[in-house]
Chains A and B, each alone.
Chain A
Amino acid sequence: MNVKVIVRGKAKGAVLCAQKPVNFLGGIDKKTGLVRDEKHDLFGKFIGNKILVFPNGVGSSVGAYTIYSLKYNQSAPLAIVCLKADITTASGCAISDIPLVVAEKKDYESLKNGQEILVDAIEGKIL
Protein backbone atom coordinates (compact mmCIF):
# COMPACT_ATOMS: atom_id res chain seq x y z
CA MET A 1 0.00 0.00 0.00
CA ASN A 2 1.06 3.61 -0.58
CA VAL A 3 1.42 5.89 2.43
CA LYS A 4 2.32 9.52 3.11
CA VAL A 5 5.78 9.96 4.62
CA ILE A 6 5.98 12.24 7.67
CA VAL A 7 9.32 11.11 9.12
CA ARG A 8 11.72 9.26 6.82
CA GLY A 9 13.25 5.85 7.56
CA LYS A 10 12.68 2.10 7.17
CA ALA A 11 11.61 -0.54 9.70
CA LYS A 12 10.40 -4.12 9.66
CA GLY A 13 8.40 -5.78 12.42
CA ALA A 14 5.11 -7.04 13.82
CA VAL A 15 2.02 -4.82 13.90
CA LEU A 16 0.45 -3.73 17.22
CA CYS A 17 -2.92 -2.01 16.63
CA ALA A 18 -4.58 0.43 19.05
CA GLN A 19 -8.25 1.24 18.57
CA LYS A 20 -8.16 4.44 20.65
CA PRO A 21 -6.03 7.57 20.22
CA VAL A 22 -2.83 7.62 22.30
CA ASN A 23 -2.00 10.21 24.99
CA PHE A 24 1.75 9.68 25.29
CA LEU A 25 2.29 11.74 28.45
CA GLY A 26 -0.47 10.32 30.62
CA GLY A 27 -0.92 7.01 28.87
CA ILE A 28 2.50 5.43 28.33
CA ASP A 29 5.31 4.82 30.82
CA LYS A 30 8.31 6.60 29.30
CA LYS A 31 10.83 4.16 30.82
CA THR A 32 9.18 0.77 30.36
CA GLY A 33 7.10 1.40 27.23
CA LEU A 34 4.06 -0.14 28.92
CA VAL A 35 0.60 1.35 28.36
CA ARG A 36 -0.56 2.51 31.79
CA ASP A 37 -3.90 4.15 30.94
CA GLU A 38 -6.44 1.68 32.35
CA LYS A 39 -9.11 2.93 29.96
CA HIS A 40 -6.99 2.29 26.85
CA ASP A 41 -7.48 -0.88 24.79
CA LEU A 42 -3.71 -1.57 24.90
CA PHE A 43 -3.55 -1.29 28.72
CA GLY A 44 -0.61 -3.32 30.05
CA LYS A 45 0.92 -3.94 26.58
CA PHE A 46 4.55 -3.16 25.63
CA ILE A 47 4.68 -0.82 22.61
CA GLY A 48 8.44 -1.22 22.04
CA ASN A 49 9.98 -3.08 19.08
CA LYS A 50 6.67 -3.18 17.23
CA ILE A 51 5.13 -1.28 14.34
CA LEU A 52 2.63 0.73 16.37
CA VAL A 53 -0.63 1.50 14.57
CA PHE A 54 -3.03 4.07 16.10
CA PRO A 55 -5.50 6.66 14.80
CA ASN A 56 -3.80 9.81 16.21
CA GLY A 57 -2.17 11.30 19.27
CA VAL A 58 -4.06 13.39 21.86
CA GLY A 59 -3.32 15.30 25.05
CA SER A 60 -0.29 17.07 26.43
CA SER A 61 2.25 18.77 24.22
CA VAL A 62 4.99 17.19 26.36
CA GLY A 63 4.03 13.81 24.92
CA ALA A 64 6.70 14.49 22.28
CA TYR A 65 9.32 14.11 25.03
CA THR A 66 7.70 10.81 26.03
CA ILE A 67 8.39 9.49 22.53
CA TYR A 68 12.01 10.70 22.78
CA SER A 69 12.34 9.08 26.24
CA LEU A 70 10.99 5.77 24.90
CA LYS A 71 13.72 5.79 22.26
CA TYR A 72 16.36 6.68 24.88
CA ASN A 73 15.14 3.82 27.10
CA GLN A 74 15.00 1.36 24.17
CA SER A 75 11.24 0.96 24.58
CA ALA A 76 10.17 2.82 21.43
CA PRO A 77 8.13 1.45 18.52
CA LEU A 78 10.17 0.56 15.40
CA ALA A 79 7.84 2.70 13.29
CA ILE A 80 4.41 4.31 13.62
CA VAL A 81 1.46 4.19 11.24
CA CYS A 82 -1.33 6.74 11.87
CA LEU A 83 -4.62 7.68 10.32
CA LYS A 84 -4.00 11.35 11.05
CA ALA A 85 -0.55 12.60 12.08
CA ASP A 86 -0.72 15.14 14.90
CA ILE A 87 1.99 17.65 15.80
CA THR A 88 3.01 15.87 19.02
CA THR A 89 3.56 12.49 17.37
CA ALA A 90 5.22 13.99 14.27
CA SER A 91 7.70 16.12 16.22
CA GLY A 92 8.44 13.34 18.73
CA CYS A 93 9.21 10.91 15.90
CA ALA A 94 11.27 13.49 13.99
CA ILE A 95 13.60 14.09 16.91
CA SER A 96 13.82 10.37 17.76
CA ASP A 97 14.34 9.06 14.19
CA ILE A 98 11.25 6.86 14.32
CA PRO A 99 9.75 6.42 10.81
CA LEU A 100 6.19 7.80 10.73
CA VAL A 101 3.65 7.40 7.92
CA VAL A 102 -0.02 8.20 7.40
CA ALA A 103 -2.21 5.57 5.71
CA GLU A 104 -5.53 5.92 3.86
CA LYS A 105 -8.51 4.72 5.94
CA LYS A 106 -9.09 1.53 3.92
CA ASP A 107 -5.40 0.55 4.03
CA TYR A 108 -5.14 1.50 7.68
CA GLU A 109 -8.05 -0.76 8.59
CA SER A 110 -6.51 -3.69 6.73
CA LEU A 111 -3.50 -3.82 9.12
CA LYS A 112 -3.86 -6.67 11.61
CA ASN A 113 -2.23 -7.41 14.96
CA GLY A 114 0.85 -9.63 14.67
CA GLN A 115 1.17 -9.13 10.90
CA GLU A 116 4.83 -8.74 9.77
CA ILE A 117 5.25 -5.61 7.63
CA LEU A 118 7.99 -3.44 6.18
CA VAL A 119 7.40 0.29 6.58
CA ASP A 120 9.37 2.04 3.84
CA ALA A 121 9.09 5.68 4.86
CA ILE A 122 11.45 6.74 2.07
CA GLU A 123 9.52 5.43 -0.93
CA GLY A 124 6.18 5.85 0.90
CA LYS A 125 5.11 2.20 0.91
CA ILE A 126 4.09 -0.54 3.33
CA LEU A 127 4.97 -4.05 2.16
Chain B
Amino acid sequence: MELTKEEESALDGKHGETLALAYRILVAIGEATNADKLIPVEWAHLSGVNYNTIGDAGEEFLSHLSKDAKFRIKTTVNPMGFDSDNVSKFHLDEEFVTKQQSIRNSYVKMGATPSFSCIPYEIFELPKNGTQVSFAESNAAIYANSISALKTNKESAFSALASALTGKSPHSDLRDEENRKPNLTIRMKTEPADEITYGLLGYFAGKEAGSSVAISGTKGLDRRSCKSLCAGMGTSGSCGMFTLGEEEGEKIDFDYKEMARVKDELNTSESGDIITLGSPQLGLEEISDLVAKLKGRSFRKQCMIFCPRAIQGQIRNLGYDKELTRAGGEILYDCCTCLTPLVDKENIDAVVTNSVKGAYYLKTSNGVDVNLKSLHQIVEEETK
Protein backbone atom coordinates (compact mmCIF):
# COMPACT_ATOMS: atom_id res chain seq x y z
CA MET B 1 0.00 0.00 0.00
CA GLU B 2 1.32 3.45 -0.98
CA LEU B 3 1.45 6.08 1.77
CA THR B 4 1.85 9.83 1.30
CA LYS B 5 4.84 11.54 2.95
CA GLU B 6 2.53 12.90 5.63
CA GLU B 7 1.14 9.42 6.35
CA GLU B 8 4.64 7.92 6.46
CA SER B 9 5.80 10.44 9.02
CA ALA B 10 2.69 9.84 11.17
CA LEU B 11 3.40 6.09 11.02
CA ASP B 12 6.98 6.77 12.14
CA GLY B 13 5.69 8.56 15.23
CA LYS B 14 6.55 12.11 14.18
CA HIS B 15 3.02 13.29 15.07
CA GLY B 16 2.78 11.45 18.35
CA GLU B 17 2.15 8.00 19.76
CA THR B 18 -1.62 7.97 19.13
CA LEU B 19 -1.40 8.66 15.40
CA ALA B 20 1.47 6.18 15.03
CA LEU B 21 -0.73 3.50 16.57
CA ALA B 22 -3.69 4.44 14.36
CA TYR B 23 -1.56 4.29 11.20
CA ARG B 24 -0.05 0.96 12.28
CA ILE B 25 -3.60 -0.45 12.37
CA LEU B 26 -4.48 1.11 8.98
CA VAL B 27 -1.31 -0.31 7.37
CA ALA B 28 -2.00 -3.80 8.76
CA ILE B 29 -5.57 -3.88 7.45
CA GLY B 30 -4.41 -2.29 4.21
CA GLU B 31 -1.92 -5.15 3.73
CA ALA B 32 -4.52 -7.72 4.80
CA THR B 33 -7.05 -6.49 2.23
CA ASN B 34 -4.57 -5.62 -0.56
CA ALA B 35 -5.39 -1.91 -0.51
CA ASP B 36 -3.58 0.49 -2.88
CA LYS B 37 -3.86 3.65 -0.73
CA LEU B 38 -5.68 5.34 2.14
CA ILE B 39 -8.80 7.36 1.35
CA PRO B 40 -10.84 9.85 3.41
CA VAL B 41 -13.92 8.64 5.31
CA GLU B 42 -16.57 10.99 6.73
CA TRP B 43 -18.08 9.05 9.63
CA ALA B 44 -16.82 6.35 12.00
CA HIS B 45 -19.14 4.14 14.02
CA LEU B 46 -17.30 2.32 16.80
CA SER B 47 -17.90 -1.00 18.48
CA GLY B 48 -16.07 -1.98 21.67
CA VAL B 49 -18.16 0.05 24.11
CA ASN B 50 -19.67 -2.63 26.36
CA TYR B 51 -17.41 -3.56 29.30
CA ASN B 52 -18.57 -7.18 28.86
CA THR B 53 -16.88 -7.30 25.45
CA ILE B 54 -13.65 -5.34 25.94
CA GLY B 55 -12.88 -6.10 29.59
CA ASP B 56 -10.18 -4.52 31.76
CA ALA B 57 -7.67 -4.53 28.91
CA GLY B 58 -10.00 -2.46 26.74
CA GLU B 59 -11.05 -0.13 29.55
CA GLU B 60 -7.42 0.67 30.42
CA PHE B 61 -6.44 1.05 26.78
CA LEU B 62 -9.22 3.61 26.13
CA SER B 63 -8.55 5.48 29.34
CA HIS B 64 -4.88 5.84 28.36
CA LEU B 65 -5.72 6.73 24.74
CA SER B 66 -8.23 9.42 25.75
CA LYS B 67 -5.55 11.39 27.63
CA ASP B 68 -4.53 13.13 24.40
CA ALA B 69 -6.42 11.55 21.48
CA LYS B 70 -9.16 13.42 19.59
CA PHE B 71 -11.47 12.09 16.89
CA ARG B 72 -11.12 13.95 13.59
CA ILE B 73 -14.46 13.01 12.00
CA LYS B 74 -18.06 12.45 13.11
CA THR B 75 -17.86 9.48 15.47
CA THR B 76 -20.80 7.54 16.93
CA VAL B 77 -20.71 4.57 19.31
CA ASN B 78 -22.34 1.18 19.86
CA PRO B 79 -24.52 0.28 22.88
CA MET B 80 -22.98 -0.13 26.30
CA GLY B 81 -23.92 -2.63 29.03
CA PHE B 82 -26.88 -0.92 30.72
CA ASP B 83 -29.23 2.07 30.80
CA SER B 84 -27.74 4.63 33.20
CA ASP B 85 -31.23 5.81 34.26
CA ASN B 86 -32.29 2.33 35.40
CA VAL B 87 -29.01 0.81 36.46
CA SER B 88 -29.85 0.79 40.19
CA LYS B 89 -32.79 -1.59 39.57
CA PHE B 90 -30.63 -4.40 38.25
CA HIS B 91 -28.20 -5.14 41.10
CA LEU B 92 -25.23 -5.05 38.78
CA ASP B 93 -21.73 -5.63 40.01
CA GLU B 94 -20.28 -2.32 41.21
CA GLU B 95 -17.07 -2.93 39.31
CA PHE B 96 -19.03 -3.38 36.08
CA VAL B 97 -20.81 -0.05 36.58
CA THR B 98 -17.58 1.83 37.36
CA LYS B 99 -15.63 0.33 34.45
CA GLN B 100 -18.54 0.94 32.05
CA GLN B 101 -18.75 4.60 33.09
CA SER B 102 -14.99 4.93 32.53
CA ILE B 103 -15.33 3.54 28.99
CA ARG B 104 -18.22 5.91 28.32
CA ASN B 105 -16.20 8.89 29.57
CA SER B 106 -13.15 7.95 27.48
CA TYR B 107 -15.16 7.88 24.24
CA VAL B 108 -16.95 11.15 25.02
CA LYS B 109 -13.64 12.82 25.97
CA MET B 110 -12.20 11.86 22.58
CA GLY B 111 -15.19 13.52 20.90
CA ALA B 112 -17.67 10.73 20.24
CA THR B 113 -21.40 11.47 20.10
CA PRO B 114 -22.83 9.48 23.04
CA SER B 115 -25.33 7.64 20.82
CA PHE B 116 -24.90 4.13 22.32
CA SER B 117 -26.82 2.63 19.45
CA CYS B 118 -26.29 -0.19 16.97
CA ILE B 119 -28.67 1.44 14.41
CA PRO B 120 -26.82 4.64 13.44
CA TYR B 121 -28.38 4.30 9.96
CA GLU B 122 -31.83 4.84 11.49
CA ILE B 123 -31.23 7.70 13.93
CA PHE B 124 -28.74 10.00 12.17
CA GLU B 125 -29.06 11.99 8.98
CA LEU B 126 -27.29 10.05 6.22
CA PRO B 127 -24.53 11.64 4.12
CA LYS B 128 -25.01 11.71 0.35
CA ASN B 129 -25.05 8.49 -1.72
CA GLY B 130 -21.72 6.77 -2.15
CA THR B 131 -20.04 8.47 0.84
CA GLN B 132 -17.22 6.44 2.40
CA VAL B 133 -17.79 5.71 6.10
CA SER B 134 -16.19 3.31 8.56
CA PHE B 135 -18.73 1.21 10.47
CA ALA B 136 -17.57 -1.44 12.92
CA GLU B 137 -20.93 -2.75 14.13
CA SER B 138 -21.59 -5.54 11.65
CA ASN B 139 -25.36 -5.08 11.20
CA ALA B 140 -24.77 -1.35 10.66
CA ALA B 141 -22.00 -1.93 8.09
CA ILE B 142 -24.22 -4.32 6.11
CA TYR B 143 -27.26 -1.99 6.34
CA ALA B 144 -25.11 1.01 5.30
CA ASN B 145 -23.76 -0.79 2.20
CA SER B 146 -26.97 -2.52 1.18
CA ILE B 147 -29.74 -0.02 2.02
CA SER B 148 -28.29 3.39 2.95
CA ALA B 149 -26.16 3.71 -0.22
CA LEU B 150 -22.97 4.32 1.79
CA LYS B 151 -19.65 2.50 1.39
CA THR B 152 -17.81 0.74 4.19
CA ASN B 153 -15.91 -2.44 4.80
CA LYS B 154 -17.06 -4.65 7.65
CA GLU B 155 -14.69 -2.82 10.00
CA SER B 156 -13.31 -4.07 13.29
CA ALA B 157 -13.47 -2.14 16.56
CA PHE B 158 -9.84 -1.03 16.06
CA SER B 159 -10.01 -0.29 12.34
CA ALA B 160 -13.01 2.02 12.87
CA LEU B 161 -11.20 3.59 15.84
CA ALA B 162 -8.17 4.20 13.59
CA SER B 163 -10.52 5.85 11.05
CA ALA B 164 -11.99 8.07 13.77
CA LEU B 165 -8.47 9.18 14.79
CA THR B 166 -7.17 9.81 11.26
CA GLY B 167 -10.25 10.34 9.07
CA LYS B 168 -8.93 7.60 6.74
CA SER B 169 -9.33 3.97 5.79
CA PRO B 170 -7.58 1.64 3.31
CA HIS B 171 -9.10 1.63 -0.18
CA SER B 172 -9.99 -2.03 -0.64
CA ASP B 173 -12.73 -4.64 -0.80
CA LEU B 174 -16.23 -3.07 -0.58
CA ARG B 175 -14.85 0.48 -0.80
CA ASP B 176 -14.00 -0.29 -4.42
CA GLU B 177 -17.03 -0.39 -6.76
CA GLU B 178 -15.60 -3.39 -8.64
CA ASN B 179 -15.73 -5.63 -5.58
CA ARG B 180 -19.32 -4.83 -4.65
CA LYS B 181 -20.88 -6.99 -7.35
CA PRO B 182 -21.93 -10.34 -5.82
CA ASN B 183 -20.84 -13.61 -7.44
CA LEU B 184 -23.19 -15.77 -5.39
CA THR B 185 -27.00 -15.65 -5.36
CA ILE B 186 -29.02 -17.15 -2.53
CA ARG B 187 -32.52 -18.03 -3.69
CA MET B 188 -35.06 -17.67 -0.91
CA LYS B 189 -37.58 -20.51 -1.12
CA THR B 190 -39.33 -20.11 2.23
CA GLU B 191 -42.55 -18.55 3.55
CA PRO B 192 -43.87 -16.85 5.61
CA ALA B 193 -41.27 -14.17 5.39
CA ASP B 194 -41.16 -12.80 8.94
CA GLU B 195 -38.11 -11.40 10.75
CA ILE B 196 -37.09 -14.84 12.04
CA THR B 197 -36.97 -16.24 8.50
CA TYR B 198 -34.92 -13.24 7.36
CA GLY B 199 -32.57 -13.47 10.35
CA LEU B 200 -31.96 -17.18 9.68
CA LEU B 201 -31.46 -16.44 5.99
CA GLY B 202 -28.90 -13.78 6.95
CA TYR B 203 -27.09 -16.21 9.26
CA PHE B 204 -27.03 -18.81 6.46
CA ALA B 205 -25.85 -16.26 3.87
CA GLY B 206 -23.08 -14.98 6.15
CA LYS B 207 -21.60 -18.47 6.33
CA GLU B 208 -21.83 -19.12 2.59
CA ALA B 209 -20.90 -15.79 1.03
CA GLY B 210 -17.72 -13.81 0.44
CA SER B 211 -17.77 -10.00 0.75
CA SER B 212 -21.03 -9.47 -1.12
CA VAL B 213 -24.09 -11.64 -1.84
CA ALA B 214 -27.25 -11.40 -3.95
CA ILE B 215 -30.57 -12.54 -2.47
CA SER B 216 -33.52 -13.38 -4.70
CA GLY B 217 -37.11 -14.37 -3.99
CA THR B 218 -37.64 -11.96 -1.09
CA LYS B 219 -41.17 -10.98 -0.11
CA GLY B 220 -42.47 -8.49 2.44
CA LEU B 221 -39.05 -7.18 3.36
CA ASP B 222 -40.01 -4.47 5.87
CA ARG B 223 -37.63 -2.52 8.11
CA ARG B 224 -37.78 -5.10 10.91
CA SER B 225 -36.99 -8.02 8.59
CA CYS B 226 -34.29 -6.04 6.86
CA LYS B 227 -32.53 -5.24 10.15
CA SER B 228 -32.86 -8.89 11.16
CA LEU B 229 -31.30 -10.01 7.86
CA CYS B 230 -28.34 -7.62 8.32
CA ALA B 231 -27.81 -8.69 11.93
CA GLY B 232 -27.98 -12.42 11.18
CA MET B 233 -25.55 -12.00 8.30
CA GLY B 234 -23.09 -10.00 10.39
CA THR B 235 -23.06 -12.62 13.13
CA SER B 236 -22.01 -15.70 11.22
CA GLY B 237 -19.44 -14.60 8.69
CA SER B 238 -17.49 -11.88 6.97
CA CYS B 239 -20.03 -10.82 4.32
CA GLY B 240 -20.48 -7.04 4.30
CA MET B 241 -23.36 -6.36 1.90
CA PHE B 242 -26.25 -7.80 -0.09
CA THR B 243 -28.20 -6.83 -3.19
CA LEU B 244 -31.73 -7.93 -4.07
CA GLY B 245 -32.46 -9.97 -7.18
CA GLU B 246 -30.62 -12.70 -9.01
CA GLU B 247 -27.03 -12.14 -10.25
CA GLU B 248 -24.73 -14.06 -12.55
CA GLY B 249 -22.55 -16.79 -11.06
CA GLU B 250 -23.17 -19.52 -8.49
CA LYS B 251 -26.68 -20.00 -7.08
CA ILE B 252 -27.74 -21.85 -3.95
CA ASP B 253 -31.16 -22.33 -2.37
CA PHE B 254 -32.28 -21.37 1.11
CA ASP B 255 -35.15 -23.81 1.53
CA TYR B 256 -37.08 -25.25 4.48
CA LYS B 257 -34.39 -27.83 5.12
CA GLU B 258 -31.62 -25.23 5.34
CA MET B 259 -33.83 -22.97 7.44
CA ALA B 260 -34.57 -25.79 9.90
CA ARG B 261 -30.86 -26.60 10.16
CA VAL B 262 -29.96 -23.00 11.08
CA LYS B 263 -32.91 -22.71 13.45
CA ASP B 264 -31.93 -25.92 15.27
CA GLU B 265 -28.51 -24.44 15.87
CA LEU B 266 -29.86 -21.22 17.42
CA ASN B 267 -33.24 -22.14 18.93
CA THR B 268 -32.21 -24.13 22.00
CA SER B 269 -35.39 -23.95 24.13
CA GLU B 270 -39.15 -24.36 23.69
CA SER B 271 -39.96 -21.55 26.14
CA GLY B 272 -38.30 -18.73 28.05
CA ASP B 273 -38.38 -16.92 31.42
CA ILE B 274 -38.18 -13.41 30.00
CA ILE B 275 -38.64 -11.68 26.62
CA THR B 276 -36.09 -9.37 25.01
CA LEU B 277 -36.84 -7.23 21.95
CA GLY B 278 -34.02 -5.47 20.19
CA SER B 279 -30.88 -6.60 18.61
CA PRO B 280 -30.60 -4.49 16.60
CA GLN B 281 -32.28 -1.90 18.86
CA LEU B 282 -35.86 -0.98 17.93
CA GLY B 283 -36.42 2.29 16.09
CA LEU B 284 -39.50 4.49 16.42
CA GLU B 285 -41.32 2.71 13.59
CA GLU B 286 -40.97 -0.68 15.31
CA ILE B 287 -42.03 0.74 18.70
CA SER B 288 -45.11 2.24 17.09
CA ASP B 289 -45.87 -1.10 15.42
CA LEU B 290 -45.42 -2.97 18.71
CA VAL B 291 -47.89 -0.66 20.47
CA ALA B 292 -50.40 -1.18 17.66
CA LYS B 293 -49.97 -4.96 17.81
CA LEU B 294 -50.49 -5.09 21.59
CA LYS B 295 -54.01 -3.58 21.34
CA GLY B 296 -54.21 -3.23 25.11
CA ARG B 297 -52.87 -6.69 25.93
CA SER B 298 -50.13 -7.25 28.56
CA PHE B 299 -46.96 -9.32 28.60
CA ARG B 300 -47.16 -12.52 30.66
CA LYS B 301 -43.52 -12.17 31.72
CA GLN B 302 -40.79 -9.57 32.05
CA CYS B 303 -40.16 -7.95 28.66
CA MET B 304 -37.09 -5.78 27.96
CA ILE B 305 -37.36 -3.47 24.95
CA PHE B 306 -34.01 -2.02 23.81
CA CYS B 307 -33.94 1.38 22.05
CA PRO B 308 -31.51 4.15 21.21
CA ARG B 309 -31.57 7.22 23.52
CA ALA B 310 -32.08 9.38 20.41
CA ILE B 311 -35.77 8.40 20.18
CA GLN B 312 -36.56 8.68 23.91
CA GLY B 313 -38.26 12.07 23.52
CA GLN B 314 -40.46 10.90 20.67
CA ILE B 315 -41.38 7.70 22.51
CA ARG B 316 -42.52 9.83 25.46
CA ASN B 317 -44.29 12.49 23.42
CA LEU B 318 -46.25 9.90 21.47
CA GLY B 319 -47.29 8.18 24.71
CA TYR B 320 -45.65 4.89 23.72
CA ASP B 321 -43.66 4.65 26.97
CA LYS B 322 -46.88 4.82 29.04
CA GLU B 323 -48.55 2.19 26.87
CA LEU B 324 -45.58 -0.20 26.96
CA THR B 325 -45.15 0.26 30.71
CA ARG B 326 -48.86 -0.47 31.18
CA ALA B 327 -48.35 -3.69 29.20
CA GLY B 328 -45.58 -4.69 31.61
CA GLY B 329 -42.77 -3.89 29.18
CA GLU B 330 -39.63 -2.06 30.16
CA ILE B 331 -37.92 0.33 27.72
CA LEU B 332 -34.16 0.39 28.16
CA TYR B 333 -31.95 2.95 26.41
CA ASP B 334 -28.22 2.87 25.55
CA CYS B 335 -27.98 -0.94 25.69
CA CYS B 336 -29.06 -4.01 23.75
CA THR B 337 -29.86 -7.74 24.06
CA CYS B 338 -26.38 -8.65 22.92
CA LEU B 339 -23.92 -9.06 25.77
CA THR B 340 -25.86 -7.05 28.33
CA PRO B 341 -25.20 -8.15 31.93
CA LEU B 342 -28.93 -7.52 32.53
CA VAL B 343 -29.55 -11.08 31.28
CA ASP B 344 -27.82 -13.13 33.96
CA LYS B 345 -27.70 -16.92 33.84
CA GLU B 346 -27.80 -17.03 37.67
CA ASN B 347 -31.52 -16.25 37.57
CA ILE B 348 -32.55 -16.80 33.93
CA ASP B 349 -32.42 -20.16 32.11
CA ALA B 350 -33.89 -19.17 28.77
CA VAL B 351 -34.91 -16.04 26.85
CA VAL B 352 -37.68 -15.54 24.28
CA THR B 353 -36.50 -13.19 21.51
CA ASN B 354 -37.13 -12.41 17.85
CA SER B 355 -33.44 -11.67 17.30
CA VAL B 356 -31.32 -14.27 15.53
CA LYS B 357 -28.20 -12.26 16.35
CA GLY B 358 -29.32 -12.02 19.97
CA ALA B 359 -29.84 -15.79 20.02
CA TYR B 360 -26.20 -16.41 19.05
CA TYR B 361 -24.72 -14.08 21.69
CA LEU B 362 -27.20 -14.98 24.45
CA LYS B 363 -26.07 -18.57 24.08
CA THR B 364 -22.33 -18.15 23.51
CA SER B 365 -21.66 -15.16 25.78
CA ASN B 366 -24.45 -14.97 28.40
CA GLY B 367 -24.74 -18.74 28.58
CA VAL B 368 -28.58 -18.87 28.48
CA ASP B 369 -30.85 -20.84 26.17
CA VAL B 370 -33.03 -19.16 23.56
CA ASN B 371 -36.55 -19.57 22.22
CA LEU B 372 -36.79 -17.81 18.84
CA LYS B 373 -40.23 -16.39 18.04
CA SER B 374 -41.37 -13.64 15.67
CA LEU B 375 -42.86 -10.50 17.19
CA HIS B 376 -46.24 -11.60 15.86
CA GLN B 377 -45.90 -14.92 17.71
CA ILE B 378 -44.66 -13.21 20.87
CA VAL B 379 -47.75 -10.99 20.94
CA GLU B 380 -50.00 -14.00 20.22
CA GLU B 381 -48.45 -16.38 22.75
CA GLU B 382 -46.72 -14.31 25.41
CA THR B 383 -49.38 -11.67 26.14
CA LYS B 384 -52.85 -11.79 27.65
Contact = CB atoms under 8 A, between A and B. Distances in A.
Given A6-B28, A69-B54, A100-B28, A61 B364 contact: no
A3 to B, nearest CB: 12
Interface in A1-48: 4-7, 25-27, 30-31, 36-37
Contacts of B58: 65, 68-69
Contacts of B28: 6-7, 90-91, 93-94, 100
A50 B78 CA distance: 33
Contact of A87 (B24, B27, B50, B154): B154
Interface string A83-116: 0011111111111000010100000000000000
A56 B238 contact: yes
Contact of B32 (A66, A85, A95): A85
Contacts of A60: 47, 53, 138, 235
A91 B162 contact: yes
Contact of B238 (A30, A86, A94): A86
28 contacts: A5-B31, A6-B32, A25-B53, A26-B361, A27-B364, A30-B55, A31-B55, A36-B364, A59-B236, A61-B141, A61-B155, A63-B157, A65-B48, A68-B57, A71-B57, A85-B33, A87-B153, A87-B154, A87-B156, A90-B32, A91-B156, A91-B158, A92-B156, A93-B28, A94-B158, A95-B25, A100-B28, A100-B32
A47 to B, nearest CB: 16
Given A25-B53, A90-B31, A64 B237 contact: no
A55 B122 CA distance: 35
Interface of B: 21, 24-25, 27-29, 31-33, 47-48, 50, 53-58, 60-61, 136-138, 141, 153-160, 162, 235-238, 360-361, 364-365
A102 B32 contact: yes
B158 A92 contact: yes
Contacts of B24: 94-95
A105 B75 CA distance: 39
Contact of A61 (B25, B154, B360, B365): B154
Given A65-B54, A86-B238, 16 more contacts: A37-B364, A57-B238, A58-B236, A61-B136, A61-B137, A62-B47, A62-B54, A64-B158, A65-B53, A73-B57, A90-B29, A91-B25, A91-B29, A94-B24, A95-B21, A100-B32
A35 to B, nearest CB: 12
List of 8 A-B pairs having minimum Cβ-Cβ separation, nearest first? A72-B57, A85-B32, A94-B28, A91-B158, A90-B32, A26-B364, A69-B57, A88-B156
A26 B158 contact: no
A26 B52 CA distance: 12
Contacts of A68: 57-58, 61, 158
A26 B29 contact: no
Nearest to B136: A61
B157 A64 contact: yes
A68 to B, nearest CB: 5
A91 B53 CA distance: 16
B79 to A, nearest CB: 11
A59 B33 CA distance: 17
Nearest to A67: B158
A90 to B, nearest CB: 4
A13 B162 CA distance: 31
A62 B365 CA distance: 13
Contacts of B237: 58-59
A48 to B, nearest CB: 14
Given A26-B364, A73-B57, A91-B162, A61 B32 contact: no
A24 to B, nearest CB: 10
